[in-house]
């Protein structure tokens, strides 16, 4: 029943799109007043999509296996929470979520943009509807979440157990708010370009939307990363996996956009940058969807290897890119060409930031796309691993960090550096600290000490500003401070991490100079949809108290998959992380124990960065 | 002569071009050094010489071939035409099982012996390296 309502609701929603598009075109020809039918139908469309989405959720809750999506991704013994999260834990449902966010954002946009000119609002709505129509067709034609199967199966196939996890249950909605939220920036940038409406006011108005997408995207990536850390059992937080990369690329573009918008708002410069970046952010999000959905990349996100879907998204993606580039080249008039920058000014520092970001973006892009290209052209299979990214990104991170410290201190138009003394002094202090830290370690001295110096430099400069400047530019300073904290934690984490991998039988003990791992016992426990084997490990480190860790092996019944659940003891200084694994029909357990210093600070600093975004957003609202 | 501004702009364009070329060079060079090629046991058999570079070998874990000791793990990767012995010490992913697909990363000692430094976890129980799939379909 719920499926049926959902299915019809989806079609009604699609009809609304066509109606809105028709009204928008008519209204656009005589835009004396805003046609409120557009708003009403946008609301109606949102309503239908919500109904359809709820319909799917209810089908999942009731385990209605006459619905193919539910059959493929759910099971009666699954806990309620994961039945619900299963709704978007698959291709069809997640696309419905895309659509939900698309319609939600255009509705909110129309409500919040009442002060803006009519034709701009109408055109934005029109562009957004083009995207929405594309996704409606995609959803209904190639991946309908409400397909009916007969005879009705008694039991579903179950959700991939590694997706049955709290962080990953909320990861898609949050990430999508960021990903798809950028669609509204795309639409409105295109509308503003067409109407030649790019102005300081427009910048101020669109900045709110940029911030919202950016905050959600940051949090979404964070959640995915935390999940990979404890669920995949590798103990790392970023693997340069293509699926991670496709979420990082829109983030880089969006972050750059955020900085350019500032310049646009204050000085009416970098307009081309803003337009290109608005287009790039959304296209990269789409591109990510294409890559993970088409089955080109193998990962948890690949729900189905269906070439038709990939082809559709690819065609849709290219038409959007073509449309936006057409608009950019034919409508965008670069009027104020006399904006020669003085080399020492805030705008040139933002420009420098842009180039760095674009460099990082292209490195990630090449690393992600190149293997696919090569496979298509020469059918040779390669993979590009972390060394590639490390080598290309780390050296450029150094000047990037330094300019992040200096840049915000500069004034618009023309600036001089005042109080040069403390800037130099801080550099020496940072270098001194790094020197002491690195000196006794057996690692590459040069690159590490310079990198550490520049991170400490940013850290101290931003820290000082909290006291000197107080509330002035607080959110900006907080974000930069968070970034320095992030890089510092990553560095220390890399430098001081240790790990032991060994095979042990129950009752055996592993001993090394600084560590004793005592595998005391195993325990069995039956849960609703899995059987758990829980190990008991006594860990004694030389300089630490003894701790007990209980990693788990879970044997899920449907689908029949074994997952290992890490056990992690976290404190402010370090994480102690253990996973165990059983090799089929052998007595030995494969044990991996890791000491991960400052792990929690990596998460906290990213949280801090997104919090800074939130603060800036609230401040904007307060000002208006 | 040209004005100061024109000279400056010329200089700017030149430096941008230089930076672009330089970074393109870096990216390509780094790619060349850091990519890892994927090969099947049959492809390894047909190699003319053993390279020292890191590679990935993919195939199925041969039934009954896994043996594990305190320090290392031995198994055989097969693509149903040829096979290769693998020695590995390190973390073992969940879906590592006899008769299932596996991808091992490491170095070739000779054509029959592979020293793995990493075994890759595949997220999906039904995953099979494409070569293996093709090999099975051929049979």
Q: Which of A366, A393, A418 is the last residue of a domain?
A: A418
Torsion of CA A602, A605, A610, A613, to 10 degrees: -150
Q: Quick one: A121 and A176 in the same domain?
A: no
Decide if A459 is inside a domain.
Answer: no
Q: B67-68 and B73-78: which strand pairing?
A: antiparallel
- For residue A168, give the nearest of A255, A230, A80, A250 by alpha carbon: A230
B105 has a pLDDT exceeding 80:
yes
Closest CB to A232: pick one of B36, B67, B121: B121
Average pLDDT over residues B91-99: 78
pTM of the model: 0.90
Say which CATH architecture domain B37-138 belongs to. Beta Barrel (2.40)
Tally of structural domains, chain A: 3
CB pairs under 8 A between A and B: 108
Decide if A485 is inside a domain.
Answer: no
Spell out the alpha helix ranges (H) of A36-90: 36-61, 68-73, 80-85
Q: Quick one: A169 and A114 in the same domain?
A: no
Beta-carbon separation of B68 and A579 below 8 A: no
Q: Quick one: A413 and A400 in the same domain?
A: yes
The two tokens of residue A173 are: 């909605």
Q: What is the pLDDT of residue B137?
A: 59
Closest CB to A391: pick one of B34, B69, B130: B34
Q: What is the pLDDT of residue B129?
A: 53
Q: Which of A120, A135, A160 is the last residue of a domain?
A: A160
Q: Give the tens place of pLDDT for each residue, B36-72.
A: 888 888 888 888 777 788 888 888 888 888 888 777 8
Give the residue ranges of chain A where pLDDT is below 50: 300, 303-304
Decide if A248 is inside a domain.
Answer: yes
Decide if A489 is inside a domain.
Answer: no
Q: What is the pLDDT of residue B123?
A: 52
Q: Quick one: A243 and A386 in the same domain?
A: yes
Beta-carbon separation of B94 and A501 below 8 A: no
- DSSP secondary-structure letter at A152? P
Residue B110 backbone phi and psi in degrees, to 5: -145, -165
Closest CB to A503: pick one of B34, B38, B69: B69
Q: Quick one: A126 and A170 in the same domain?
A: no
In three-state secondary structure terms, A585 is coil
Q: Give me the residues paired with residue A423 across strands.
A: none
Q: Give the tens place of pLDDT for each residue, A113-166.
A: 988 998 899 999 999 999 999 999 999 988 899 988 888 888 888 887 878 888
A370 contacts on B by Cβ (under 8 Å): 31
Q: Which of B22, B25, B91 to mutate to test the interface with A (most CBs of A within 10 A)?
A: B91
A583 contacts on B by Cβ (under 8 Å): 66, 68, 73, 92, 96
Beta-carbon separation of A563 and B89 below 8 A: no
Which residues of B, range 83-102, sit inside 8 Å of A by Cβ?
89-98
Q: Give me the residues paired with residue A594 across strands.
A: A499, A577
Beta-carbon separation of B124 and A160 below 8 A: yes
Q: Which residues contact A77 (CB under 8 A, 6 or more apart)?
A: A528, A529, A557, A558
Q: What is the pLDDT of residue A337?
A: 52
B66 contacts on A by Cβ (under 8 Å): 583-584, 586
Q: What is the pLDDT of residue A278?
A: 95
Q: Quick one: A98 and A242 in the same domain?
A: no
Decide if A10 is inside a domain.
Answer: yes
Closest CB to A590: pick one of B34, B92, B124: B92
B125 Cβ under 8 Å from any chain A Cβ = yes
- How many Cβ atoms are within 10 Å of A553's Cβ, its own excluded? 22
Q: Quick one: A289 and A171 in the same domain?
A: yes
Q: Which residues contact A432 (CB under 8 A, 6 or more apart)?
A: none
B73 has a pLDDT exceeding 70:
yes
Beta-carbon separation of A380 and B56 below 8 A: no
Q: What is the pLDDT of residue A215?
A: 96
Q: What is the pLDDT of residue A550?
A: 92
Q: Quick one: A334 and A245 in the same domain?
A: yes
B132 has a pLDDT exceeding 60:
no
Q: Quick one: A317 and A243 in the same domain?
A: yes
Q: What is the pLDDT of residue A477?
A: 93
Beta-carbon separation of B35 and A503 below 8 A: no
What does pLDDT average to over chain A?
Answer: 87
Q: Where are the domains of chain B?
A: 1-34, 37-138
Closest CB to A383: pick one of B26, B36, B98: B36
- For residue A535, give the nearest of A589, A584, A594 by alpha carbon: A589
Decide if A473 is inside a domain.
Answer: no
Closest CB to A383: pick one of B38, B72, B73: B38
Q: Which residue of A has its CA nearest to B23?
A: A359
Query: How far is Cα B36 from Cα A298, in angstroms, rounded to an integer?
Result: 16
Beta-carbon separation of B70 and A588 below 8 A: yes
In three-state secondary structure terms, B71 is coil
Q: What is the pLDDT of residue A208?
A: 93
Q: Which of A239, A355, A362, A383 to mutate to test the interface with B (most CBs of B within 10 A)?
A: A383
A501 contacts on B by Cβ (under 8 Å): 89-91
The two tokens of residue A202 are: 């427009």
B7 has a pLDDT exceeding 80:
no
Q: Quick one: A171 and A115 in the same domain?
A: no
Decide if A464 is inside a domain.
Answer: no
Peptide linkage before B108 cis (omega within 30 of 0): no
Q: B113-120 and B83-88: which strand pairing?
A: parallel
Query: How far is Cα B65 from Cα B114, in angstroms, rounded to an integer?
Result: 14
Angle between helices A91-112 and A2-29 (to 10 degrees): 40
Q: Quick one: A206 and A61 in the same domain?
A: no
Q: Quick one: A142 and A169 in the same domain?
A: no
Domain that holds residue A516: 498-599
Q: Which of A131, A160, A189 is the last residue of a domain?
A: A160
Decide if A27 is inside a domain.
Answer: yes
The distance of B106 to chain A (nearest Cα, Å) reads: 13
Q: What number of helices (H) and strands (E) belong to chain B? A: 3, 7
């Amino acid at each position: 029943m719920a499926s049926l309502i959902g299915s019809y609701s989806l079609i009604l929603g699609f009809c609304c799109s066509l109606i809105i598009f028709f009204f928008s075109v008519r209204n656009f020809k005589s835009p004396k007043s805003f046609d409120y039918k557009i708003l009403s139908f946008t609301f109606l469309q949102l309503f239908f999509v919500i109904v359809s989405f709820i319909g799917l959720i209810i089908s999942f809750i009731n385990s209605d296996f006459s619905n193919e999506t539910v059959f493929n991704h759910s099971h009666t013994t699954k806990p309620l929470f994961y039945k619900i999260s299963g709704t978007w834990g698959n291709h069809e449902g997640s696309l419905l979520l895309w659509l939900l966010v698309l319609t939600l954002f255009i509705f909110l946009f129309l409500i919040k943009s009442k002060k803006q000119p009519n034709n701009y609002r109408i055109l934005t709505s029109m562009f957004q509807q083009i995207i929405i129509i594309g996704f409606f067709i995609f959803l209904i034609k190639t991946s309908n979440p409400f397909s009916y199967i007969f005879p009705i199966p008694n039991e579903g196939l179950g959700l991939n157990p590694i997706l049955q996890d709290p962080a990953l249950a909320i990861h898609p909605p949050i990430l999508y708010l960021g990903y798809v939220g950028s669609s509204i920036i795309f639409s409105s940038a295109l509308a503003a370009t067409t109407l030649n409406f790019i102005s300081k006011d427009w910048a101020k108005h669109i900045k709110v939307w940029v911030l919202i997408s950016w905050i959600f995207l940051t949090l979404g990536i964070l959640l995915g990363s935390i999940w990979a850390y404890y669920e995949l059992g590798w103990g790392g937080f970023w693997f340069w996996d293509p699926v991670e990369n496709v979420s990082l690329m829109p983030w880089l573009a969006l972050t750059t956009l955020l900085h350019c918008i500032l310049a646009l708002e204050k000085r009416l410069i970098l307009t081309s940058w803003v337009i290109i970046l608005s287009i790039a952010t959304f296209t990269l999000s789409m591109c990510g969807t294409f890559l993970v959905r088409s089955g080109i990349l193998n990962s948890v996100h690949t729900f189905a290897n269906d070439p038709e879907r990939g082809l559709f998204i690819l065609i849709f993606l290219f038409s959007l890119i073509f449309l936006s580039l057409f608009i950019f080249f034919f409508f965008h008039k670069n009027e104020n060409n006399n904006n020669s920058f003085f080399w020492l000014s805030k705008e040139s520092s933002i420009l420098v930031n842009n180039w760095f970001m674009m460099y990082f973006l292209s490195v990630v892009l090449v690393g992600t796309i190149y293997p696919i290209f090569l496979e298509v052209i020469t059918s040779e299979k390669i993979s590009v691993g972390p060394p590639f990214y490390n080598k290309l990104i780390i050296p450029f991170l150094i000047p990037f960090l330094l300019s992040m410290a200096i840049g915000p201190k500069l004034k618009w138009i023309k600036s001089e550096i005042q109080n040069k003394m403390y800037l130099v002094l801080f550099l020496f202090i940072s270098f001194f600290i790094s020197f002491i830290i690195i000196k006794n370690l057996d690692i590459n001295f040069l690159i590490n000490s310079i990198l550490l110096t520049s991170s400490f430099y940013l850290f101290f400069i931003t820290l000082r500003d909290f006291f000197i400047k107080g509330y002035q530019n607080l959110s900006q300073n907080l974000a930069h401070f968070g970034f320095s904290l992030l890089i510092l934690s990553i560095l220390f984490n890399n430098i001081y991490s240790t790990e032991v991998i060994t095979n042990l039988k129950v009752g055996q003990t592993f001993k090394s100079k600084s560590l004793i791992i005592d595998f005391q016992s195993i325990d069995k426990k039956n849960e609703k949809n899995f059987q758990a084997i829980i190990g008991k490990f006594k860990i004694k480190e030389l300089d630490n108290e003894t701790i007990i860790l209980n990693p788990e092996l879970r044997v899920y019944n449907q689908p029949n998959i074994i997952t290992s659940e890490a056990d992690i003891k976290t404190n402010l200084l370090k994480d102690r992380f253990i996973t165990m694994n059983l090799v089929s029909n052998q007595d030995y357990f494969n044990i991996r124990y890791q000491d991960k210093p400052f792990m929690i600070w990596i998460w906290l600093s990213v949280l801090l960065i997104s919090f800074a975004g939130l603060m800036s957003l609230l401040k904007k609202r307060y000002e208006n | 002569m040209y004005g100061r501004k024109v000279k400056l702009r010329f200089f700017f364009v030149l430096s941008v071009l230089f930076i672009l070329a330089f970074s393109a060079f870096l990216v390509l060079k780094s790619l060349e050094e850091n990519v890892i090629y994927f090969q099947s046991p049959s492809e390894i058999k047909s190699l003319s010489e053993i390279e020292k570079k890191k590679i990935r070998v993919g195939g199925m874990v041969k039934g009954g071939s896994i043996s594990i000791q305190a320090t290392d793990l031995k198994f055989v990767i097969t693509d149903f035409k040829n096979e290769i012995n693998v020695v590995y010490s390190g973390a073992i992913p969940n879906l590592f099982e006899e008769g299932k697909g596996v991808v091992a990363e490491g170095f070739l000692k000779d054509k029959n012996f592979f020293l793995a430094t990493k075994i890759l976890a595949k997220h999906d129980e039904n995953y099979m390296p494409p070569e293996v799939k093709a090999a099975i379909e051929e049979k």
